[in-house]
Structure 1
Amino acid sequence: MDVLSPIDWALAVSIAFFAGVVKGSVGFALPLIMISGLSSFLDPRLALAGILVSVLVTNGWQVTRQGPAAAKDAARLHWRYLVVVVVAIFATAQLVTLIPRQWFYFILGIPVVGLSLIQLSGVRLTIPPHRRVAAEWGIGLISGALGGLAGTWGPTTVLYLLAIETPKARQMVVQGVIYGAGSVVLVLAHLRSGVLNADTGVFSAALLPAALAGMAVGFRLQDRMDQALFKKVTLIVLVVAGINLIRKGVLG
């Protein structure tokens, strides 16, 4: 691992803290913020390694914050979505070398921005109860396919949970369960790939305290939000995330 300057360390810790605040507030976007920020001044492989420990641990905290019973209940209620996302990620990841990834940043980013802006304008997009089983399979398949091909399934998962009017506390747990399962696979994959090793692991672990401190602040902010404000803030973060995906599609 390259020796980092004090300025590099200060920037990296600040990015991890800010990402933790957003994660604690709305339950997602920590990897997006950290990888975007760190890769702007670090080697991409080191930036990727830098997010892994924080992604794994913060998802674990998010899952367990409401207690193990809440996590178990979330997994039971959304087991279809979980199963199809994991299977689709595994299956479509095998196609990454065959299809230009930039296409999928556009395919994911443009609808996320559009649907989020529509809802911010006051239009309610909801899935009625009698169609939710079909929606779980269908949207789960789309999310998993985009996860395998473009590396992110968070935005579509959040849009789905908003559309079925998931209460704030449950949404945080469900997101943690879904992202937590993915983060375990991600860490194992990069232990195998060599991205996460003895050197880069030290850097990744060093950013964890800042991410956890930020998440603690974010949790306090989240606790003060009512359901309407939580949804609005979540949609704003989705717009920013979607714009970043479009940017990655443009720049490659």
Structure 2
Amino acid sequence: MENLITLLSSSNPRHLLLICLVFVLAGAVKGAIGLGLPTVAIGLLSLLMTPMEAAALLIVPSFFTNVWQLAAGPDFSGLLRRLWPMLLGVCAGTFAGGLLLARVHADWAAAGLGLALIVYALMGLASVKLAVSAAMERRLGPAIGAITGVVSAATGVFTIPAVPFLQALGLDKDDLVQAMGLAFTVSTVALALNLVAAGALPWSGAETSIIALLPALAGMALGQWLRSRMNPVLFRRCFFAGLLLLGAHFVWSYFA
């Protein structure tokens, strides 16, 4: 965390500009397709810092953009009643993952991030469509949440396997976007508490995450504007192709 604070407090405007541009891009992706802010931000910021430092910087913009996404829809109490087993699993998996992975080397975490990005990108490019019945949803929900939490604790990315699971529930478009906002909000809070417990996010340093909030919000507004003007199929293909290349870079760097 000291490296992150030093980076943000340095007089080098290039670093700050790069960080702001990353969050504008990540926010634009989230505004356009409803997800991707942590995935893009963690992936690109990890070129400048460790994945956990990037996760710490992501906490504030991730929380506010997810709350925005959650509150933009109708009353979500029905989704909360339906998804609470998965959300509880996310919390348990995040905290358990923090304990199990506390001594994981930074290179291992980067490789794990790369694998998560590759899996997510391949599923997106292949347009994989899964279906989960109501009975299977009740059985799989806690396990899916727990796995998502462990991945989040290790890499700071909480889209795998939660997003494919939510997409398989047959929710309509608005409910799906709101369900992702709910899951991402819970994941962000759980990850923040996990980082605090691990000493990786002291409250005195958490304020540095605020620097990324305005660029992320600006990017999200830009993405919503682009969504109404771009071919969504082409945009999603470019997005997932970029994630695939980025994930391959992290995995290659680990074995190189």
The TM-score normalised by the length of structure 2 is 0.75
Deviations for 1:136-193, whole angstroms, at most 9, x for unmatched residues?
2443343233334444331321111222232221122111111111212333444552
Secondary structure at the counterpart of residue 94 of structure 1: helix
Give the 5 Å matches for 1:33-52.
33-41=40-48, 47-52=54-59
- Unaligned runs of at least 5 residues, structure 2: 1-5
Higher alpha-carbon deviation: 128-137 or 171-180:
128-137
Cα distance in 1, alignment partners of residues 170 and 119 from structure 2: 19
Secondary structure at the counterpart of residue 78 of structure 1: helix
Instruction: Find the counterpart in structure 1 of residue 252 from structure 2.
Output: 250
In the TM superposition, residue 102 of structure 1 has moved relative to its aligned partner by 6.0
Cα distance in 2, alignment partners of residues 47 and 88 from structure 1: 20
Cα distance in 2, alignment partners of residues 181 and 232 from structure 1: 30
Q: Percent identity?
A: 23
Cα distance in 2, alignment partners of residues 36 and 111 from structure 1: 14
Cα distance in 2, alignment partners of residues 43 and 4 from structure 1: 20
In the TM superposition, residue 196 of structure 1 has moved relative to its aligned partner by 4.9
Cα distance in 1, alignment partners of residues 80 and 160 from structure 2: 19
Q: Report whether the alignment pairs 1:133 with 2:135.
A: no
Instruction: Find the counterpart in structure 1 of residue 125 from structure 2.
Output: 117
Q: Report whether the alignment pairs 1:214 with 2:216.
A: no
Distance 1:113 1:79, change over 3 A: same
Distance 1:35 1:148, change over 3 A: closer
Contact 2:115/2:247 (8 A) holds in 1: no
Instruction: Find the counterpart in structure 2 of residue 164 from structure 1.
Output: 169
Distance 1:87 1:43, change over 3 A: closer
The TM-score normalised by the length of structure 1 is 0.76
Deviations for 1:25-84, whole angstroms, at most 9, x for unmatched residues?
2222212322333343468776444322211211221111115x23x2221221221122
Instruction: Find the counterpart in structure 2 of residue 89 from structure 1.
Output: 94
Deviations for 1:190-247, whole angstroms, at most 9, x for unmatched residues?
455254554662x42222112111112223445x49xxx7688557645544553443
Distance 1:234 1:173, change over 3 A: farther
Cα distance in 1, alignment partners of residues 252 and 177 from structure 2: 31
Distance 1:15 1:94, change over 3 A: same
In the TM superposition, residue 22 of structure 1 has moved relative to its aligned partner by 0.9
Cα distance in 2, alignment partners of residues 6 and 178 from structure 1: 35
Secondary structure at the counterpart of residue 154 of structure 1: coil
Give the AA of the match of 2:71.
T
Name the count of aligned residue pairs. 243
Cα RMSD of the aligned pairs, angstroms, is 3.4
Q: Report whether the alignment pairs 1:187 with 2:189.
A: no
Cα distance in 1, alignment partners of residues 101 and 88 from structure 2: 21
Contact 2:61/2:210 (8 A) holds in 1: yes
Secondary structure at the counterpart of residue 157 of structure 2: coil
